[in-house]
Amino acid sequence: MSVAHRGLILLGFPRPNRGANSTVRQKFCETKGTKGIAVKWTLASDIDGTLVGSRESLDRLANRLDVLRNAGGLLLIYCTGRRLDQVIDGTETEGLPIPDAVICQVGTEIYLEPNQESASLESWRTKLLSEYSRAEAESFLDGIPGLQMQPHEFNTDLKTSCFVDECPNPDATAAMIAERAARADDRYMVIYSSGRDLDILPASSGKGKAIAFLLQHLGRSHENVVVAGDTGNDSAMFHHFDRGIVVANAQPELIALAEAADAKSVYQAGLPYAAGVEQGLEFFGVLPIKTA
């Protein structure tokens, strides 16, 4: 088991407020069902630093996605480290289009037709719980000077998350935690991002595997999937699917991945945030190329 790519969760992005109003909740409830939609493309995108970063770009992309979705041409999935309520709040405060499904907490929770009261997909939870012990995951963090746990809402029965940036040597600390986890029969995956965030997740989780499970659950093919991201914790999506968009503001590890991969399948956008996603969707033929 190795430490996953170092990624940087960009600090300074506006955090959604916690008070989603009932209109937004209602809109979520009215989102059309995800089962049985005969759509051609699936876009599975990270949120912070990928779709969110420039409101103007996101508004333009959202309008174009709306047209495609209204014509039944796109299934939209968010794949994020956020909690579900933060995603829902983001549809109100950050201009995020209402998605068809959401994968939260770095691939450990899946929500279909998401609303504030949604429960995460039970079959995914059951599968992950069968390999994961929160107590065992916490034991990998024992006795490490400077280590701090993340707030409790980012720690769940399937995700043990801490900060290592105040440890004397964060990189070495992350490697040591990964080594401890590797002794546990490959049941754990350690994701180290930004020299700060460290997640211990079930080995079967992560963003890429969660999308694959969701698509299988919906009876949808893994073809015609485009993923988009900006940091190391997005790299699992690029390993699973043939078409990936790396936005121009991406962190070095994801850019390196883009350069190493087949140029046909990983598109390095020239523009940041949603504008980069838009460019990539044009490149892969999901959106028509704008002539104006």
Residue with tokens 């490697």: 175
Q: Is 49 in the site for ligand GLC (CB under 6 A)?
A: no
Distance CA 6, CA 254 (A): 9
Q: Is 78 in the site for ligand GLC (CB under 6 A)?
A: no
Of the candidates 137, 147, 206, the one whose C-alpha atom is nearest the C-alpha of residue 172 is 147
Q: Is 235 in the site for ligand GLC (CB under 6 A)?
A: no
Q: Is 9 in the site for ligand GLC (CB under 6 A)?
A: yes
* CB-based contacts of 39, cutoff 8 Å, min separation 6: 72, 73, 74, 75
Q: Which segment (19-27, 89-97, 189-197, 283-291) binds ligand GLC by CB under 6 A? A: 189-197
Closest approach, Cβ 160 to ligand GLC, in A, equals 10
Across the beta sheet with 197-202, what order do the strands follow? 148-149, 160-163, 197-202, 188-193
* CB-based contacts of 205, cutoff 8 Å, min separation 6: 106, 107, 108, 128, 158, 189
Measured over the CA atoms of residue 114, residue 117, residue 123 and residue 129, the dihedral's sign is positive
Closest approach, Cβ 41 to ligand GLC, in A, equals 26
What is the DSSP pairing of strand 160-163 with strand 188-193? unpaired
Q: Of the two residues 5 and 220, which places its CB atom closer to ligand GLC in the complex? A: 5
Q: Is 10 in the site for ligand GLC (CB under 6 A)?
A: no
Closest approach, Cβ 52 to ligand GLC, in A, equals 12
Q: Of the two residues 164 and 214, which places its CB atom closer to ligand GLC in the complex? A: 164
Which residue's Cβ lies closest to ligand GLC?
81
Residues that bind ligand GLC (CB under 6 A): 9, 81, 106, 150, 154, 161, 191, 193, 197, 199, 233
